[in-house]
Amino acid sequence: MGGASGEAFSSTLVSTGMDPAHVLAREAIQNSVDAGQEIAEKVKVRFRSVTLTGASKAEFVAAAALHTIASRAKRLRLQEPNCLADLHDAKKPLHLLFVEDFNTTGLIGDPHDSKSKFYRFYLGKS
């Protein structure tokens, strides 16, 4: 289906001159507010970090099919260092950041429909 390379997403975080963590937080919150439902409750955004090792890490890596991404890392032009090199080492921690939003519409829609929110997010289309 085409779409943006991994570099497109990481470039967004570093191109502003701001700390990438600040940009990520700002963009995540703004996107959630933009997708807010028209209800009385306000949008809520939660940032949650999790560190996995051992069997928990192996289960997550398998469920998320991270090995398939690792095999394409060079073609995706992901910034290094990243977690992909250590996926096989159960002792090396895998740090995850979850950005969860509530009272929003979410990334709804068919990934093959150019008008859906999911398609526009995933393939970087506006």
Asked if 27 and 60 touch (Cβ cutoff 8 Å), the reply is no
Which amino acid, one-letter code, is at 95?
A: H
- Residues 6-29: tens digit of each pLDDT: 455 555 555 667 888 888 899 889
Does residue 78 belong to any structural domain of this protein?
A: yes
Which amino acid, one-letter code, is at 6?
A: G
> How long, in residues, is the chain?
126
- Residues 51-93: tens digit of each pLDDT: 999 999 999 999 999 988 888 888 888 878 889 989 999 999 9
Using the structure block, give the residue that is written with the tokens 């159960």.
90
Domain count for the chain, please give it.
Answer: 1
Does residue 65 belong to any structural domain of this protein?
A: yes
Does residue 1 belong to any structural domain of this protein?
A: no
Give the closest residue to 61 by CA, choosing from 28, 20, 92: 92
Does residue 56 belong to any structural domain of this protein?
A: yes
- The tokens describing 16, both together, are 């502003």
